[in-house]
A and B are shown apart, each in its own frame.
Chain A
Amino acid sequence: MLGRARSLGRRVLGVRRTPTYYLPWLVRPGLECVLVVNNVESRFKTGFNRGPFAVAVVQYDARGAVVGRHNVELDDPTATAEVRLDAEGSNAGFATVAGARIFSDQYVTLSDGTAYTATHGRHEFVERYPRVLRILLGLAGALAAAAGRTLPLFVKDQYLYLGAGVRSHLLVMNLSNVANRVRVVVTGERGVRVERVMKLRPMGSHLLDVSRLGIVAAEATLVVRARLEANAWFNLYVVGAGRNDLEGPLSFMHVK
């Protein structure tokens, strides 16, 4: 019922959802981020199993600016191509992957040169709001932000893990063409509560460093609850960090 009402609301307001496949990217000193492009899952799908396949990767940085365009071609469904994702002066964001006959999950890898961790992207959508709605959302968002709030049109809950040698950070991605104010409420042990409001530019991202939230990590791994509310469509990836935190090897993981 709620889903139908939201769908009707989007139609009335002129909000468009563009199907989009996206993955996160992140670079740090000594850490390489490589996208593994493939079409292997389409191998037995009629119309999708004969190459070549053209693939277009568009890389957005944390400010939402396009910082890279990578066009690759796969000769056949079992071919892979590796695309290094980095950008001058920028260290995180997301990349979209598109191709008329690409029908497979793509992988993003993070490597310290010795080994790599990997996860896959998500086939979802980007929401595009008409100009008037963008202005209204901007005004309402600014008012709400003054009170430390946002318009909670989209909400996600996520557990985070903090310990002496582990952290799970969050890469929060604004999948819309409107400025997105994301309010994060983290509840730790004994009800300790930390709140932040982040403003993400259209198609921008923010690496939320949980070490800076003021929740003290104990020797044993602490599970804390994060709730994220936003005024426009967004999603997140968990960034796993070990003993050297964001200066060491990292892992990415999608959530639902």
Chain B
Amino acid sequence: MSSDRCALLSATFWEAGYEHLIETVHQRDALARRNLDGLEIAVHDPGGALLGEKSVDPRQEVLDLGALVEEIAGGAPRAMVTLEARYDERVFPYRPHHYAFLHRPGSDAPPLYYAVNAVLGGVPDRIGATTINNFETYVFRQRPFAARYAVLLGNLARFAAAEAQVATYYGGQRVLVEVALAPKSHREIDLPSERDGRRLERVEVKALFRLASYVVGRRADSGDLVLFDHLFTYIK
């Protein structure tokens, strides 16, 4: 791939049992004026081991992530999937986005549609993230729900281990969890909904560099995903 192309590295987490479809280019028109030059997919297990990788035809509009993980990794209960896109910056006014559709077949829960987490790259002076973007937060509703919450964190660095702090807030109480992530590894960190009778108010994630990060909510009865969302940067 020519080095005059821009690159964007995004990541998501795949779980068995879900239909997970990724739009390689969000809002691509029928004539495909918005197009990628290349798209490389890699699949890693929770420990960071590479389970498989593949070049995807960038003209392909929607990827069936389940079929792809099965094809290149032979299946896994959960995996971190990275998407490395190469593109011409003149084609995208901002940066390419991959969006995804997520649903467990047979579930009563509604499907989720989300923006795949862009972690590294883009067009630096146009990406809107020239300030610190590795200090993130998310707020929760305050009435009790029958749901479990967590954050999914992945380290996309090739060589550097990452140390992240996940802080949860319950009224005035702050609970800190330190997370060490080897290169390409990932973890799901549970966020208890209640502590000493106080509701979970918000979560913060801090790391020395940007991690792949999602807030995850699951129905307590079925385990079906109801939240799969990116966090927000504190410093805009």
Contacts and interface: CB of A to CB of B under 8 A. Distances in A.
Contacts of A43: 234
A171 B26 CA distance: 17
A67 interface: no
A249 interface: yes
A82 B110 contact: no
Chain A interface helix/strand/loop/mixed? strand
A227 B236 contact: no
Contact of B113 (A103, A107, A240): A240
A82 B108 contact: no
A82 B146 CA distance: 18
B1 interface: no
Interface stretch (A12-20, A90-98, A114-122, A132-140): A114-122
A158 B27 contact: yes
A166 interface: yes
Given A45-B235, A82-B141, A227-B30, A40 B112 contact: no
Contact of A168 (B30, B97, B101, B108): B101
A114 B234 contact: no
Interface in B77-107: 93-94, 97, 99, 101, 103, 105-107
A38 B139 contact: yes
B226 interface: yes
B217 interface: yes
B141 A105 contact: no
A82 to B, nearest CB: 7
Contacts of A118: 141, 227, 229
Q: Which 3 A-B pairs have the closest CB atoms?
A: A253-B113, A115-B147, A240-B111
Interface of A: 3, 34, 36, 38, 40-41, 43-45, 78, 80, 82, 103-105, 107, 109, 111, 114-120, 155-159, 161, 163, 165-166, 168, 187, 221, 223, 225, 227, 238, 240-244, 248-251, 253, 255-256
Interface of B: 19, 21, 23, 26-30, 61-62, 93-94, 97, 99, 101, 103, 105-114, 137, 139, 141-143, 145-147, 169, 201-202, 217, 219-221, 226-227, 229, 232-236
